[in-house]
Amino acid sequence: MYANDGFRELERHECLRRMAEVPVGRIVHTRRALPAVLPVNFTLDDDGAVLLRTSADSELVRAIDGAVVAFETDVVDVDRQSGWSVVVTGSARTVTDPAEHERLIRCGPVSWVPATREVFVRIEPELVTGRELVGGRTLYGVHLTA
């Protein structure tokens, strides 16, 4: 069911399904006490956790390890004025367990910028929200088609 404002709230399982279909998202974190947003490639683990792979020496790892972050993905069709957006909020942790690290080397995300020492970062999906914008304009809550 679509709301009168042209948006539809997405259920958690639908949010995770849509996230799994896109290769890039944006991590939102705090950098020097200010909000920062960085596009990154990612994958989802079987439990819905967001997985990142990056340099162990990166500023990103230092900024997010142990912090609560947000991670956003979306798809927008400008011509149809439609799309969706999903936000996962949760704690980010560097994977330190050797067995888990080995598993993620085999099935986790592939770094687009490989580094000598890489780590995996896991964002636990404590809060998952999403919404879909229906295409076209609305008038008094009624969807208008061209």
**pLDDT digits over 49-93, tens only?**
999 999 989 999 999 999 999 999 999 988 888 899 999 999 999
The model's confidence at residue 27, banded by pLDDT at 50, 70 and 90, is very high
Q: What class has domain 7-143?
A: mainly beta
Domain locations in the chain? 7-143
Q: State yes or no: pLDDT of 145 exceeds 60.
A: no
Q: How many residues does the chain have?
A: 146
Q: What is the pLDDT of residue 75?
A: 95
- The residue among 72, 93, 92 whose CA lies nearest residue 15 is 72
Name which of 88-92, 114-118, 123-127 the model is least confident about: 114-118
Predicted TM-score of the model (pTM): 0.85
Q: Which two tokens stand for residue 10?
A: 């997405």
Q: What is the pLDDT of residue 6?
A: 81
Across the chain, mean pLDDT equals 88
